[in-house]
Structure 1
Amino acid sequence: MTTFPGSARVEMIMGMPVSVDIRTALPARELTPLLDDAFAWLRWVDDTFSPVKEDSQIGRLNRGQTIKQIPELIEVLHRCEELSEATDGWFEPRINGVIDPSGYIKGWALERLSRALSNAGAGDHRITAGNDIRVRGSAAPGKRWRIGVRDPRRDIVRKVVFAHDLGIATSGGVPIVNPRTGEVQEGLGSVTVIGPDLGLADAYATAIYAMGPLLARRYAADLAASTPYQTLIVGRDGQEISTPGFAVYSGAEARMAG
């Protein structure tokens, strides 16, 4: 199979391996600084938004200390409030007075990075951080990216998704709190949301997981009917339920399309 030239790099950021795989044919003198800038951005996001780093802006905000008026910080906090309202409080960045945007920030950071890479001429790439994945362009000439949607609890591939431009976010690998009770939600195995913006997909996956089985199915159906975001829900027993549009990316038609 014909492959693209390009370059890939993996670094530990946010406590996990993060990979940036660029397939666009660019000279090394352009690829190397692109990757340098990519990981510099992700480190800055971690240093700014981590709720566990004392000197992060979120850490300072939670302790009532002065913070810098950073446009990205204002944007993220505003978007988290909008998402809380859009999900009827099931996506909740503030629990017991503590702000934690973790359910949105990783997807948001990868989405911003994907756009920056495209604007810099590296339109064929895959970025992976834990269970969040952003693909754009082609994996090889004329070929869609092939992404395995992994079950974070059982470490098996639940679905294979084929796409040229898609965000894929899966929740369930780490504990998620039910904001109504303050207790860890144990009703589902995992929730995967796919759509055009990885930040939104990340937040929706977090919210739907927090809802528990019955509300999750209803909300996922409503979300699919009114937006381009599709959902795969895996129960504790391993049973899979997905909204109809998920099959567009994982069915035979997607494979035949390349």
Structure 2
Amino acid sequence: MRRVEHVMGFPVSLRVDDEGFPESAADDLFAWLREVDARFSPFRKDSEVSRLDRGDLGPGGLSPELTEILDLCERYRIATGGAFDVRLPGRRLDPCAVVKGWSVQQGADLLTAAGARRFCLNAGGDVVAAGGPWRVGVRHPEHVDRLCTVLPLTDGAVATSARYERGDHILDGRTGRPATGLLSLTVVAPTLTEADAVATAAFALGREGIDWAAARPGCEVFAVDADRRVVRTSGFRTTGTALSRTPA
């Protein structure tokens, strides 16, 4: 089974290699992602996130799912000393950095519960996979038609934070200004919930985020800093790279 839909502002592609896997399970996956977009997008005036931000909802009126998302956001805010913060002064509440990975991982869990054993779910370049090996390409931070590395992924997730899609959209919560020091940072972790949040939080930290992410249990890191130097942890396995360890 192969399927692609545009959800939450980016393409989501699904490939399931299990024979006889029901189409209805894929329907459930994409329905879940559309529900997440409706409920937790800060860009929708009627979403739960927007209503909370306006003060139309009190803490006691939050759904268990949004409570979980905000708890994760607070955990990473504390862990980064405030560099990762979804509640910057003068800006709307924006938990998208956690919502994306969390919701896609929940979707992958739905696939597993429906009987999928070998699948790859790609949400705007962030991937959760099972039953590999799969080959996951990491885009070059400066050249749209090049990869900077390709990694094998069996069971787990990979997420990248960078400037190339949305410019300086990741802010350092300690200063309120765009994060500096890195061109891109990729994290491999057991779940996309963690991989996506760690990648964004580490990018917000700048260069110090490389060591911070590498110290997270179960995480491996591949980063390109602002001087175009490549840093990778010893457990980050690759099948090829197009960047050297020295400035380009």
Per-residue CA deviations over 1:92-111 (Å, capped at 9, x if unaligned) read 12111632111111111111
With normalisation by structure 1, the TM-score equals 0.84
Q: Which 4+ stretches in 1 moved above 6 angstroms? A: none
Q: Percent identity?
A: 38
SS in structure 1 at match of 2:171 = coil
| Paired residues, number | 232
Deviations 1:109-134 (A, max 9, x none): 11111111111101211111113111
Quick one: which of 131, 135, 147 aligns to 1:146?
135
- Taking a change above 3 Å as real, the CA distance of residues 113 and 240 of structure 1, as seen in their structure-2 partners, is same
CA distance in 1, matches of 2:65, 2:148: 34
- Listed one character per residue, the Cα deviations across residues 184-228 of structure 1 (whole Å, up to 9, x for unaligned) are 123211010111011111111111111122x123323433xxx11
- Cα distance, 1:87 vs structure 2: 2.5
Match of 2:44 in 1: 53
Whole-Å separation in 1 of the counterparts to 2:31 and 2:3: 13
Q: TM-score, normalised by structure 2?
A: 0.87
Question: Where does residue 170 of structure 2 map in the other structure?
Answer: 176
1:200 corresponding residue in structure 2: 194
CA distance, structure 2, for counterparts of residue 11 and residue 169 of structure 1: 19
User: For residues 160-239 of structure 1, what are the structure 2 equivalents within 5 Å?
Assistant: 160-172=150-162, 173-174=165-166, 175-213=169-207, 215-223=208-216, 227-239=217-229
Question: Are the counterparts in 1 of residues 84 and 205 from structure 2 also a CA contact under 8 Å?
Answer: no
C-alpha distance in structure 2 between counterparts of 1:132 and 1:251, whole Å = 18
Alignment of 1:43-192 (within 5 A): 43-66=34-57, 69-96=62-89, 98-138=92-132, 144-155=133-144, 156-172=146-162, 173-174=165-166, 175-192=169-186
Unaligned runs of 5+ in 1: 1-6, 139-143, 253-258
